[in-house]
Chains A and B, each alone.
Chain A
Amino acid sequence: MAESTPIIAVDKVSKIYGNANASTVALKDVSLSIAKGEFVSLVGPSGCGKSTLLRLIADLDKATQGTLLVNGHAPDVARKNREYGFVFQAPTLYDWRTVERNAELPLEVMGRAKADWKPRVDKMLAMVGLRDFHDHYPWQLSGGMQQRASIARALSFDPAILLMDEPFGALDEFTRERMNMELLDIWQTTHKTILFVTHSISEAVFLSSRIVVMTPRPGRIATVVDIDLPYPRTFETRESPRFFELMTVVRETLKEEFVGHE
Chain B
Amino acid sequence: MSVVEIVPGPKPSIWQRPWVAPLIVFVAVVGLWEALVLIFQPPVFLLPPPSLIWQSLAGQFGALMSYGFNTFLEAVGGFVIGCSLGLVVAMFVARSPRLSELLLPFAVASNSVPIVAMAPIAIVWFGIGPGSKIAIVAVMCFFPTMVSAVRGLTAASPDAIALMRSYAATDWQIFSKLRVPTSLPFVFNAFKICTAVSMIGAIVAEFFGGAVNYLGIYIKTQASILKTPDAWAAILVACFYGLFFYFVIALLERWLMPWRRMP
Chain B window 128-169, contacts with chain A (Cβ cutoff 8 Å), 1 for yes, 0 for no: 000000000000000000000000000001011011111111
Whether B166 lies near A79 (C-beta < 8 A) is yes
| Any B CB within 8 A of the CB of A84 | yes
* Chain A interface, >50% SS class: loop
Cβ contact within 8 Å between B163 and A110: no
A88 contacts the other chain (Cβ, under 8 Å)? yes
Whether A86 lies near B259 (C-beta < 8 A) is no
Interface 9-residue window, one of A39-47, A90-98, A215-223, A235-243: A90-98
- CB < 8 Å: which of B162, B173, B181, B257 contacts A86? B162
How many whole Å from A102's CB to the nearest CB in chain B? 10
Q: Does B177 touch A at the CB level, under 8 Å? A: yes
Q: A88-B162, A88-B163, A137-B259 are in contact. Are A94 and B168 (CB under 8 A)?
A: no
Contacts of A96 in B (CB 8 A): 181, 184, 257, 259
Count, A-B residue pairs, CB within 8 A = 52
Asked if A257 lies at the interface with its beta carbon under 8 angstroms from chain B, I say no
Partner of B168, one of A80, A108, A137, A139: A80
Q: Is B178 an interface residue (CB 8 A)?
A: yes
| Contact B167 A109, beta carbon cutoff 8 Å | yes
Q: Which residues of B sit under 8 angstroms from A58, Cβ to Cβ?
A: 166
> Which of B160, B162, B166, B257 is within 8 Å of A94, CB to CB?
B160
Asked whether A79 and B168 contact (CB < 8 A) given A60-B162, A88-B163, the answer is yes
CB distance from A230 to the nearest CB of B (A): 33
A168 CB to closest chain B CB (Å) equals 16
What is the distance, in angstroms, from B260's C-beta to the closest C-beta of chain A? 8
Residues of A within 8 A of B166 (CB): 58, 60, 79, 84-86
- Provide the residues of chain A in CB contact with B165, threshold 8 Å: 59-60, 79
Which residue of chain A lies nearest to B164 when distances are taken between CB atoms in the complex? A109
The answer to the question of A82 belonging to the interface, with a C-beta cut-off of 8 Å to chain B, is yes
B168 touches A82 (CB 8 A): yes
Q: List 22 A-B contacts (CB under 8 A).
A: A58-B166, A60-B165, A79-B165, A79-B166, A79-B168, A82-B167, A86-B163, A88-B162, A92-B157, A92-B163, A94-B177, A96-B259, A97-B259, A98-B259, A105-B167, A105-B177, A109-B164, A109-B167, A109-B177, A110-B167, A110-B168, A157-B167
Which 5 pairs from chain A and chain B are nearest by CB?
A: A86-B166, A109-B167, A80-B168, A96-B181, A137-B259
